[in-house]
Amino acid sequence: MFITRTLLIALLLGVAGQCVAADLPEFSGTWELNTKKGENLGMVAAIKETVVITQSDERLVIDFADVFNGKTSTRKVVYDLSGAPVVNYAAMGDRNDTVSSWEDETLVTTWTSEGAIAGTFVVRTEKRSVSPDGQTMTVSSGREGAPAMVLVYEKQE
Nearest Cα neighbor of 153 from 128, 131, 136, 130 is: 136
Interval 112-151: pLDDT, tens: 999 999 999 999 999 999 999 999 999 999 999 999 999 9
**Cα atoms found within 13 Å of the Cα of residue 95, Cβ hemisphere only:** 4
Task: Indicate left, alpha or beta for 19 from its phi (over 0: left) and psi (-120 to 50: alpha).
Answer: alpha
Q: What percent of the chain has pLDDT over 90?
A: 83
Give residue 22's pLDDT band: very low, low, confident or very high (50, 70, 90): low
Give residue 23's pLDDT band: very low, low, confident or very high (50, 70, 90): confident
Domains in the chain, CATH or no CATH each: 25-155 (2.40.128.20)
Interval 37-88: pLDDT, tens: 999 999 999 999 999 999 999 999 999 999 999 999 999 999 999 999 999 9
* CA–CA distance, 77 with 51 (Å, rounded to integer): 10
pLDDT for res 7: 39
Q: Residue range 87-105: average pLDDT?
A: 96
* CA–CA distance, 135 with 94 (Å, rounded to integer): 31
* CA–CA distance, 121 with 144 (Å, rounded to integer): 13
* CA–CA distance, 147 with 111 (Å, rounded to integer): 16
- Model pTM score: 0.83
pLDDT for res 157: 73
